[in-house]
Structure 1
């Protein structure tokens, strides 16, 4: 499966080779695909699984839009990790469980960054929400890529 994914991504890489490294393109392709999957699953869960209705449990009531968020993340968290581990940063020699823990922490930080940056851009700086989301996404994607490359899936050199 890894080989097929790499062949497809690398086929489309050629026009971008002058502008960015192959690893960056792979990150954008895998991350973009996983984000598209997340949005699609969110839409399906919110509209057709939950029927836009609150989820009532004995402990807590969860609004449909938040429940759909967690439902879609249940799929896209592991797919994002696996794509990062085996397609984008496959040269990392850290143990898998270390990578998984670091990826989990990174995703949590990215969720908080998304929230904080949207509050900053829209509520404080009065950006139009779509412009705020574009700025937020650019910053969070850059942070995520650098963190995954330098921390989550770093390559350690034995010396």
Structure 2
């Protein structure tokens, strides 16, 4: 499946190869697809599943725009991690559990940012929930890309010996 997705992306990358690196294109394509899925699930959840109604869980009542976010997030979190790990940042040499832990930390921050911006845009600026979700997504995606590239899926530099060989070369 990984190779199939990479082949499809490589095919569509050709017109863009002079302008952006393939990794950036993969991030835009995978992140864009996952974001469209997120917004679609959010829209369907808010308008049709929740029917714009508050959700009473007994001990707490959740507003429909926040519950729609929870529903969409529960689906797009795993797809986002898998796409990032195996398609976008596949050259990362960090251990999978380190990537997952760092991705979880990043996602926790992104959840907080989503919550804060949705509350701000819907309840204080009185924007439509779907428009608020789109604005929130733009802000969070920019933050997420930088964090994933520099922290979550970074490539650790190989140890270089004094003669210029990497530790992998020396061990062979």
**TM-score > 0.5 by shorter chain:** yes
Q: TM-score, normalised by structure 2?
A: 0.74
The yes-or-no answer on 1:88 pairing with 2:50 is: no
How far apart, CA to CA, are the structure 1 residues paired with 2:3 and 2:54? Answer: 42
Quote the residue 1:153 is aligned against.
Answer: 153
Inter-partner Cα distance in structure 1 for 2:152 and 2:41: 26
Match of 1:41 in 2: 41
**Structure 1: 5+ residue stretches without partners:** 124-129
Larger Rg: 2
Mapping of residues 45-84 of structure 1, within 5 Å: 45-84=45-84
Deviation at 1:12, TM superposition (A): 0.9
SS in 1 for 2:144: helix
Equivalent pairs, count: 148
Q: Where does structure 2 lack aligned partners over 5 or more consecutive residues? A: 125-130, 160-172
User: Match of 1:18?
Assistant: 18
CA distance in 2, matches of 1:113, 1:53: 23
Cα distance, 1:140 vs structure 2: 4.4
Answer yes or no: is 1:31 the counterpart of 2:28.
no
In structure 1, distance between residues paired with 2:136 and 2:74: 26
1: CA distance between counterparts of 2:85 and 2:153? Answer: 7
TM-score relative to the length of structure 1: 0.80
Give 4+ residue runs of structure 1 displaced > 4 Å after superposition: 111-116, 133-136
